[in-house]
Structure 1
Amino acid sequence: MTDNTSWQAPGGSPQGPEVTPPPSPFTPPAAPTPVAPPPVAPMGGVPSGSPTPPPGWAPPPKPGLIPLRPLTLGTILGASFQVLRRNPRPMFGFSLLVTGAVSIISVLIVGLFAFWGVSRISSASGADSEAIVAGSIATILLGSLIPIVLSIAAVAVLQGVIVLEVARGTLGEKHTLAGLLRAARGRIWALIGWALLATLVVSLAVTIVVVAIVLLVTFGGPAGIGVSVGLGLLAGLGFAVLGAWLWTRLCLVPTAIVIERLPIRQAVSRSWSLTIGYFWKTLGIQLLVAVIISVVSQVVSIPLSIVMSFVSVLINPQGDVDASIGVIVVIYALTLLLSVVISAISAVIQSATTALIYIDIRMRKEGLDLELARFVEARQAGDDSVPDPYLVRPSAPAPAPPAYT
């Protein structure tokens, strides 16, 4: 197969020797070559022209999830949703398990801390009542931080597994959950550390602005109230713009941590450099996916809420208190279950989208598609000495690839 496409490697220089991957079960069949009609000889017997040469283009190989070429918007969106059904057990199953466990544990922890705090406040009396109330409220707030930290860690682990599945699925590989977790070993703590660091920075910035507004309202008088309102509006607008910019420039950090096995500082620099020139594309695709997921979630959840409200009226038309409590518990349980399912699907699709954007940018900037094709070709020929294509850099030697099973 000859690759005569007009695509060029980064820097504008044409590609080197043309490499043709051998046929694979995932490669679409090449289009049949049209046969040129024989030349027609004029009255003098001399052929009127030479036969038309057949076209030399053939579609790029597609060993797995995506074709090995720079991706279009439709390909990225389609592959993001295809990840769920291509390998559903480690994707949707693991995502549902993690999301469900975090939701249940969060409800239990918050409920226990709230019950304990309310019990102490209701039993407080005498001179120590104010101290007891303040301590109980502080305990409830501290207890609510535990589910937040747990959720951040769980999402980081889930994101690492999804990123690896997309990266290896691009090469036509399909791994078990145990194999993906084994390959992500050594990167999980870096993922959790990055997620906690990003959350801490955002929380610290919001806290500073809130404290400034409270101080202005408390000690500034009427003028302070006006200044605090203006400060709040400016801070909200600034956070929206700055947050969107930083989020887009740093969204590839988890992917670089897992796929390229970089430490946090180098992964930040890597994400920053990769998104240069692709800011609006990266932001637009991720916002589009988020809007699609939000619309689908609303389409599913709103009818269910309406149906459940009618069911509660039919079951308990007299408004009995005990029956109402039971209906409320059932409705809350069903709503929580639906929320867990939607969150599990959303986590897979959004993480897969980010991984596909990363692969697409590297194809366009670094010729990753050629390295992927070379790896697939060597593997089909039985050559296991080719390094992991994701660890190959144009200016750096490739480290030893991790073991996959």
Structure 2
Amino acid sequence: MGSDHHWQAPGGAPAQPPAPDASGTPPTAPQSFPPPSYGMAPPVGPPQLGWTPPPKPGLLPLRPLGFGTLLWAPFRVLRRNAAATFGTGLVVQLVSVVATLAVMVPFMVFVFSRIDGASAADADAIASGAVGGFILLMLVPLAIALVASAFLQGVMVVEVASGTLGDRLGFGALWKRAAKRIWPLLGWTAMLAGALLAVVLAFVLVIVFAAITGPAALVVAILVTLLAGLGIAALAAWLGTKLSLVPSVIVLESAGIGTAIRRSWRLTGGFFWRTFGTLVLVGAILYLASQVVVQPVSLIGTILAAVIDPTGSGAAVPITVVTMVVTLILSLLIGAITAVVQAALVAVIYIDLRMRTEALDLDLVRYVEQRDAGLPVADPYGAPAPSGLA
């Protein structure tokens, strides 16, 4: 019991304490290490990079767009650069309205003054001449509206294209760039207006000829015109969708009208229903929004006029005038928004289809990288090589 016992490892000699060194200083105790872990070894090599979304330097992500992005992108165009875009749309609406009023109001004042001072026999002749003069004078505001519409399309195409690259152009810069392609845009818009006018005149001539022939022929002509009108409407919807990208091609690719027609036809190939559905859906949204804003004002004004002056003595004339003025102002504002959004939508669809069919997104990414690095860059929206047209 009194003897010292040292621990002995199993199957080995008793453990001896370490002997002092030559100086007499005992050595330090052996260090202990943590037990080894038997988990997975850490990865060796460079870290693995996860998926990163495509860059979005501006308005649109540089990738083919999903339907939601495609649907709401034109509204973001209006919000992103409201001063330039909404201002342009408002100027276009004002020019069209002022041009129409400047032509029609003096003409109608002249006609009514002539009718009031004319005899009963001359009144019919004056009225007939007024109808012909009215039709001719309508060509003036129509031509002005065509010019304004073509210019607005050019402005919105430039805004969407530059905004996608992260640029924010001012009012004057947008107008300057769009003005460079105004003549081809006018030519294309005039072609559309001429085709529409030809169809309308053909229907009118058929009805007039049938009316001269007899009542039975008139009934048949009206029925045929209605059925033909449905067919023409379907054809117009198809052609309008296939050729909807012509303004974008004219502006961004500096193409002529014929080349732009062929390009638009190819780009929409295989994407007709997507393009048609987007155009119709955005148009329906804009129409419903405009009705929600304008109709309550008109309805409230009508109800107030009926309550204040139920007998129609004229006491509610100020309310009627105020209602008409407010409705006109709201119509101008909503018309400007509608025109801007619809023109921007066409440009967004154009960029999306080029990213899907011609890998435009890769060209845009390369352009942004080289521009940010201070390298010389070329226009990424230029017409692609012939192989990209197939």
Asked whether the two chains share a fold, i.e. TM above 0.5, the reply is yes
Which of 233, 237, 247 is matched with 1:254 structurally? 247
Please say if 1:89 is aligned against 2:83. Answer: yes
Please say if 1:387 is aligned against 2:381. Answer: no
Q: RMSD of the alignment, in Å?
A: 2.7
Question: How far has the Cα of 1:163 moved from its partner?
Answer: 1.1
Question: How far has the Cα of 1:50 moved from its partner?
Answer: 8.0
Q: Bigger shift: 269-278 or 337-346?
A: 269-278
- Counterpart CA distance in 1 for 2:180 and 2:359 is 27
Question: How far has the Cα of 1:157 moved from its partner?
Answer: 0.9
Which of 272, 275, 279 is matched with 2:272 structurally? 279
Question: How far has the Cα of 1:335 moved from its partner?
Answer: 0.8
Q: Is the 8 A contact 1:293 1:346 kept in 2?
A: yes
Deviations 1:266-324 (A, max 9, x none): 11121111111111111000000001111111111222122222343466567442x44
Could you say which residue in structure 1 is the equivalent of 2:117?
Answer: 123
Question: How far has the Cα of 1:348 moved from its partner?
Answer: 1.0
- Counterpart CA distance in 2 for 1:194 and 1:55 is 49
Which of 310, 328, 337 is matched with 2:320 structurally? 328
Please say if 1:357 is aligned against 2:385. Answer: no
Structure 1 gaps of 5+ residues are: 1-41, 398-405
Question: How far has the Cα of 1:220 moved from its partner?
Answer: 4.7
Could you say which residue in structure 1 is the equivalent of 2:298?
Answer: 305
SS in 2 for 1:184: helix
**Cα–Cα, structure 1 residues 126 and 96, in superposed 2: closer, same or farther, change >3 Å?**
closer
Which of 283, 289, 293 is matched with 1:296 structurally? 289
Deviations 1:32-58 (A, max 9, x none): xxxxxxxxxx99899699899735311
- Counterpart CA distance in 2 for 1:176 and 1:51 is 50
Which of 183, 187, 191 is matched with 1:189 structurally? 183
Question: How far has the Cα of 1:263 moved from its partner?
Answer: 1.5
Question: How far has the Cα of 1:86 moved from its partner?
Answer: 0.7
Which of 192, 205, 209 is matched with 2:199 structurally? 205
Question: How far has the Cα of 1:249 moved from its partner?
Answer: 0.9
Which of 323, 337, 340 is matched with 1:345 structurally? 337
Could you say which residue in structure 2 is the equivalent of 1:32?
Answer: none
Percent of residue pairs bearing the same amino acid type:
43
Please say if 1:139 is aligned against 2:133. Answer: yes
**Cα–Cα, structure 1 residues 107 and 324, in superposed 2: closer, same or farther, change >3 Å?**
farther
Question: How far has the Cα of 1:331 moved from its partner?
Answer: 1.5
Please say if 1:268 is aligned against 2:258. Answer: no
Q: Bigger shift: 202-211 or 305-314?
A: 305-314
Could you say which residue in structure 1 is the equivalent of 2:163?
Answer: 169
**Cα–Cα, structure 1 residues 284 and 345, in superposed 2: closer, same or farther, change >3 Å?**
same
**Cα–Cα, structure 1 residues 306 and 125, in superposed 2: closer, same or farther, change >3 Å?**
closer
- Counterpart CA distance in 1 for 2:319 and 2:288 is 27
One-letter amino acid matched to 1:210: V
Which of 222, 228, 253 is matched with 1:229 structurally? 222
- Counterpart CA distance in 1 for 2:241 and 2:40 is 66
Could you say which residue in structure 1 is the equivalent of 2:366?
Answer: 374
**Cα–Cα, structure 1 residues 49 and 88, in superposed 2: closer, same or farther, change >3 Å?**
closer
- Counterpart CA distance in 2 for 1:344 and 1:396 is 39
Q: Is the 8 A contact 1:156 1:188 kept in 2?
A: yes
How many residues get paired? 354
Question: How far has the Cα of 1:154 moved from its partner?
Answer: 0.9
Question: How far has the Cα of 1:326 moved from its partner?
Answer: 3.1
Question: How far has the Cα of 1:329 moved from its partner?
Answer: 2.2
Q: Bigger shift: 65-74 or 140-149?
A: 140-149
Question: How far has the Cα of 1:235 moved from its partner?
Answer: 1.0
Please say if 1:105 is aligned against 2:66. Answer: no
**Cα–Cα, structure 1 residues 46 and 378, in superposed 2: closer, same or farther, change >3 Å?**
closer
Normalising by structure 2, what TM-score? 0.83
Deviations 1:82-131 (A, max 9, x none): 11111111111221122123213312322221221222233333876554
Normalising by structure 1, what TM-score? 0.80
**Cα–Cα, structure 1 residues 310 and 136, in superposed 2: closer, same or farther, change >3 Å?**
closer
One-letter amino acid matched to 2:263: R
Q: Is the 8 A contact 1:70 1:369 kept in 2?
A: yes
One-letter amino acid matched to 2:385: P
One-letter amino acid matched to 1:329: V
